[in-house]
A and B are shown apart, each in its own frame.
Chain A
Amino acid sequence: MTAPSVLLRIRHASKTYSGIPALIDVDLDLEIGEVHALMGENGAGKSTLIKLLAGVTAADSAQFEIKGRPVSLSSPQSAFAHGLRFIHQELQVVRQLSAAENIFLGQSYPTRFGFQVRWKQLYAQAEHVLAQLGIESIDPRRTMGHFSPGDQMLINIAHAFVGDDLSRESGGALVYVMDEPTAALTGAETARLFRVIERLRGRGCAVLYVSHRMDEIFAIADRVTVMRDGRVVDTCPIREITPLELIVKMTGRDLQHVYPPRNEPLSEQVLLDVRGVQTRLVQAATFQVHAGEIVGVAGLNGSGRTELLRAVMGLDRLTAGAIWLDGKRLTPHSPPKAWREGIAFVPEERRSQGLVLSRSVADNLTLPQLGHVSAGGWRLAHQRERQISRDTGESVRLKARSPAQTVRELSGGNQQKVVFGRALVRPPRLLLLDEPTRGVDVGAKADLYTLIRDISGRGTGILLVSSDLAELIGMTDRILILRGGQLVEIVASKGLTSERLLALCYENLEYVGSKNPDP
């Protein structure tokens, strides 16, 4: 029995991606006239939940009720018909079209004789939608490419309000789901969006609001639901909780993994020396990595963690500063040079950045060191490649039929082991790991942790980027804290708690930005 004040009710929502649970039995209620914040670390399941609501992804099991009536959200069309509206953090705009066309994208335009578009009317309607949002500065006739990212986001947001007359009382049940809508907005634009949200609240709509910005949550939300590892941890009124308590709830996971401890004392020898490095997205990064040391990189989405690794790998041009490896300055720097000098890279997106899916396990393993593996550096040595593939495969406990098997056919965990194995074909001096255990099942994770510890035991320095805070604390010796592209602090991992680490990532709230979509 649904209480009359509940607009949208979610019950027992579960979803598994190739055997890995992303949502486990999630219950959530959105009340009429409520702004409901949804919080959680990266990978907690927020995005999956939104995809179920949007009808983009099918749930393994879930019940949805709107105003007490069971509904099925099987497609984006049915979600729309039931009054659900979505504002995604990624810009979904067509740059070549005008603002008005983007606002009415996917809707039918006003026409004469059913085919001739009545542009004047379209522009007037677009102006009307924008005016309802309190936006006067945007000319709906101009093409999208002319607008700043913030304006584009506002136009994107306006798209969600088409057809819903905000001046009148809400007829249908309207639920607005906003996934980090302020990521690209300035302070003034954010304030404007908040005024719109206030009006929605006044009209009896409900807003599900996802954000990493603590200040926003406390400014606008009525209640907050915290998710962790695919489950709802708690739902409570925002007045009854403090930011610190929220962080504790977000991080307080059961210790699933035992992280293998360091066996050797830390070396004094400086391996990597990064001095004042600056790229387009990283500012003034200065730090060192010692031989055999594991240094973590922590920060929120968009804080520049990946970009820091890219700079060390020679992928992004340095606009200032320098990088030394073993006392040798890397200049000019490039990925081929990085691999030659013994820097190995395990990128974040294994399917698009790490692997050539159409090629064999052997081809993928030997790719960066092909020159070393081959006869005279130019002619393929198939026999040797197979041997190396078998040896490397064994050392990372890869499960594949043969070195000739296509990588596409492997499971996610085994694909990740191929990316890892490739970094080890020639023992690296420095290993760069970007979210190495994301989307990997528990068993494969344990293998990877053991492997990382082994590699560091042989004197290889490791830079580890991870959103899994327990993993960072458990595996690393020191952690670099990044905020808004800046290296703001370096902390020792020993004695650090997840809560303290997350609080360090959150501090200086005005710098907290978000660029990357949640996994």
Chain B
Amino acid sequence: MSAQKILTPKPQFAWGRFLRTFGTLIGFFLIVLFFASQRPQTFMSVRNLLNITQQVSILGVVAFVMTVVMVIGDFDLSVGTMASLSGIVIGTLLQAGQPLGVVIGAALVVGMTGGLVNGIFVAYLGITPFVATLATLTIFGGLAFSISGGRTIFGQVFPDGLTDFANGGIVLATANEQVVRLPHLTIIALVVLLIVWFVLEQTVFGRRLYTIGGSMEAARLAGVRVRLLRLLAFVITGFGAALAGAMLTGQLATANPTLGDGLMLNAIAAVFLGMTMSQEGEPHVLGTLVGVLLIGVLANGFTQLGVDTYVQRILTGAIIIASVTLSSLSRRSR
């Protein structure tokens, strides 16, 4: 850098910085505008928008808790099969005649135990998160199959109260004989979002997670109990994955050993999309929210346009890679 450059700074708008921070958000609104212009009657209706929030609520819960481990620089591949396992635990215990409260509590305990196992492997035994959670991914999936005997549990086993709750919502308004509801699952996802946001952004615990993610060595020398905190982060993620499994099972009145498996990739994609929005490339849960909504809007909008679901997957993948690439290119050019 020459001395002249320093002496004569030109006041100019930092486009690069602006695009880096808001590019994904702008892209999100452009996509919304596109679908709105193509399907003005149906897409932008309050009903449809609330419908989208319900469709993404389960993915949202998984992505929000995934953000917690990714803040440390770890990730958890086992969330999908954990959600499946949680559903199977619920189905099996309901078959055995256990009360609903106990059943859901048991599923959440299973989730936290799974997270604890992940955390012990990663934080205390030093296994890389990729290998450790890839192994538990297989183990949790295998457990789901062996507990259920490979069968799908459905029908009368699930009490009406659970299914009605998971598919219902709080009535907001009634117009033209149509009821507009705020879905219960959306509310659950919002509560999880609020809790994760508070924990990550407003507590000592969250700040320490971010410093571990920034520099594990510096955090350790500054007296942060790195191993314990990494362990706790995995427990939180396991809990969220089990909660998502319970939501999924309740909504569909079905428990299947592979029901939740697909959640993991989309959840990680949502966090990556969110990371493009922060200056230092750290995950933030509000960024993850944008990522989740982007994925949900794409699925909903493409379906309304009649785009084939296989093609949808290709397009969704392309949009994700484009967004992350643009962000990393603008970061490199600084």
Q: Could you tell me if A367 and B211 are in contact, using CB atoms closer than 8 angstroms?
A: yes
From residue 212 to 234 of chain B, which have CB atoms closer than 8 A to chain A?
213-215, 217-225
> Would you call A168 an interface residue if the criterion is a C-beta within 8 Å of the partner chain's C-beta atoms?
no
Question: In the complex the two chains form, what is the Cα distance from A345 to B211 in whole Å?
Answer: 17
| Given known A356-B214, A359-B210, A406-B280, contact A378–B221 (CB-CB < 8 A) | no
Q: Could you tell me if A352 and B217 are in contact, using CB atoms closer than 8 angstroms?
A: yes
> Would you call B311 an interface residue if the criterion is a C-beta within 8 Å of the partner chain's C-beta atoms?
no
| Given known A379-B202, A379-B203, contact A336–B223 (CB-CB < 8 A) | yes
Residues of A within 8 A of B225 (CB): 334, 336
> Would you call B205 an interface residue if the criterion is a C-beta within 8 Å of the partner chain's C-beta atoms?
yes
Q: Could you tell me if A353 and B207 are in contact, using CB atoms closer than 8 angstroms?
A: no
Q: Could you tell me if A363 and B222 are in contact, using CB atoms closer than 8 angstroms?
A: no
Residues of A within 8 A of B201 (CB): 380
Closest Cβ of chain B to A309, distance in Å, is: 11
> Would you call B208 an interface residue if the criterion is a C-beta within 8 Å of the partner chain's C-beta atoms?
yes
| Given known A339-B223, A356-B218, A367-B222, contact A378–B203 (CB-CB < 8 A) | yes
From residue 246 to 284 of chain B, which have CB atoms closer than 8 A to chain A?
279-282
> Would you call A150 an interface residue if the criterion is a C-beta within 8 Å of the partner chain's C-beta atoms?
no
> Would you call B125 an interface residue if the criterion is a C-beta within 8 Å of the partner chain's C-beta atoms?
no
> Would you call A355 an interface residue if the criterion is a C-beta within 8 Å of the partner chain's C-beta atoms?
yes
Residue of A nearest to B214 (CB): A356
> Would you call B204 an interface residue if the criterion is a C-beta within 8 Å of the partner chain's C-beta atoms?
yes
Chain B interface residue bracket vs A: 20 to 34
Chain B positions 55 through 87: 1 when the CB is less than 8 Å from some CB of chain A, otherwise 0: 000000000000000000000000000000000
| Given known A356-B214, A358-B214, contact A315–B221 (CB-CB < 8 A) | yes
Chain A interface residue bracket vs B: 20 to 34
Closest Cβ of chain B to A472, distance in Å, is: 23
Residues of A within 8 A of B213 (CB): 358
Chain A positions 373 through 393: 1 when the CB is less than 8 Å from some CB of chain B, otherwise 0: 010011110000000000000
> Would you call A417 an interface residue if the criterion is a C-beta within 8 Å of the partner chain's C-beta atoms?
no
Question: In the complex the two chains form, what is the Cα distance from A357 to B282 in whole Å?
Answer: 12
Q: Could you tell me if A378 and B204 are in contact, using CB atoms closer than 8 angstroms?
A: yes
Q: Could you tell me if B205 and A355 are in contact, using CB atoms closer than 8 angstroms?
A: no
Residues of B within 8 A of A367 (CB): 207-208, 211, 219, 222, 224
Chain B positions 273 through 299: 1 when the CB is less than 8 Å from some CB of chain A, otherwise 0: 000000111100000000000000000
Q: Could you tell me if B203 and A380 are in contact, using CB atoms closer than 8 angstroms?
A: yes
> Would you call A338 an interface residue if the criterion is a C-beta within 8 Å of the partner chain's C-beta atoms?
yes
Q: Could you tell me if A354 and B218 are in contact, using CB atoms closer than 8 angstroms?
A: yes
Residues of A within 8 A of B214 (CB): 356-359
Question: In the complex the two chains form, what is the Cα distance from A336 to B228 in whole Å?
Answer: 12
The one of A347, A358, A380 that contacts B280, using a Cβ cutoff of 8 Å: A358
Residues of B within 8 A of A36 (CB): none
Q: Could you tell me if A363 and B211 are in contact, using CB atoms closer than 8 angstroms?
A: yes
Residue of B nearest to A376 (CB): B204
| Given known A315-B221, A406-B280, A422-B222, contact A359–B203 (CB-CB < 8 A) | no
> Would you call A368 an interface residue if the criterion is a C-beta within 8 Å of the partner chain's C-beta atoms?
yes
| Given known A335-B223, A367-B219, contact A379–B211 (CB-CB < 8 A) | no
Q: Could you tell me if B207 and A370 are in contact, using CB atoms closer than 8 angstroms?
A: yes
> Would you call A70 an interface residue if the criterion is a C-beta within 8 Å of the partner chain's C-beta atoms?
no
Residue of B nearest to A313 (CB): B221
Closest Cβ of chain B to A313, distance in Å, is: 8
Q: Could you tell me if B224 and A336 are in contact, using CB atoms closer than 8 angstroms?
A: yes
Q: Could you tell me if A335 and B222 are in contact, using CB atoms closer than 8 angstroms?
A: yes
Closest Cβ of chain A to B11, distance in Å, is: 16
Closest Cβ of chain A to B235, distance in Å, is: 17
From residue 104 to 154 of chain B, which have CB atoms closer than 8 A to chain A?
none
Closest Cβ of chain B to A427, distance in Å, is: 16
Chain A positions 50 through 61: 1 when the CB is less than 8 Å from some CB of chain B, otherwise 0: 000000000000
Q: Could you tell me if A377 and B204 are in contact, using CB atoms closer than 8 angstroms?
A: yes
Closest Cβ of chain A to B8, distance in Å, is: 20
From residue 3 to 55 of chain B, which have CB atoms closer than 8 A to chain A?
none
Question: In the complex the two chains form, what is the Cα distance from A313 to B220 in whole Å?
Answer: 11
Chain A positions 327 through 348: 1 when the CB is less than 8 Å from some CB of chain B, otherwise 0: 0000000111011100001010
Chain A positions 399 through 422: 1 when the CB is less than 8 Å from some CB of chain B, otherwise 0: 000000010000000000000001
> Would you call A243 an interface residue if the criterion is a C-beta within 8 Å of the partner chain's C-beta atoms?
no
Residues of A within 8 A of B215 (CB): 352-353, 355-358
Q: Could you tell me if A354 and B223 are in contact, using CB atoms closer than 8 angstroms?
A: no
| Given known A368-B222, A370-B207, A406-B280, contact A380–B202 (CB-CB < 8 A) | yes
Closest Cβ of chain B to A428, distance in Å, is: 12
Residues of B within 8 A of A357 (CB): 214-215
> Would you call A252 an interface residue if the criterion is a C-beta within 8 Å of the partner chain's C-beta atoms?
no
Q: Could you tell me if B219 and A374 are in contact, using CB atoms closer than 8 angstroms?
A: no
> Would you call A371 an interface residue if the criterion is a C-beta within 8 Å of the partner chain's C-beta atoms?
yes
Question: In the complex the two chains form, what is the Cα distance from A345 to B224 in whole Å?
Answer: 13
Question: In the complex the two chains form, what is the Cα distance from A467 to B131 in whole Å?
Answer: 42
Question: In the complex the two chains form, what is the Cα distance from A192 to B201 in whole Å?
Answer: 60
Given contacts A356-B211, A368-B222, 10 further A-B contacts (CB under 8 A): A313-B221, A335-B221, A339-B223, A353-B215, A356-B214, A367-B208, A370-B204, A379-B204, A380-B203, A380-B207
- What are 19 A-B pairs with beta-carbon distances under 8 A? A313-B221, A335-B220, A336-B224, A339-B223, A353-B215, A353-B218, A355-B215, A356-B210, A356-B211, A357-B215, A358-B213, A359-B211, A363-B211, A367-B208, A367-B224, A368-B222, A374-B204, A377-B204, A406-B280
Q: Which residues of A contact B (CB under 8 A)?
A: 313, 315, 334-336, 338-340, 345, 347, 352-359, 363, 367-368, 370-371, 374, 377-380, 406, 422
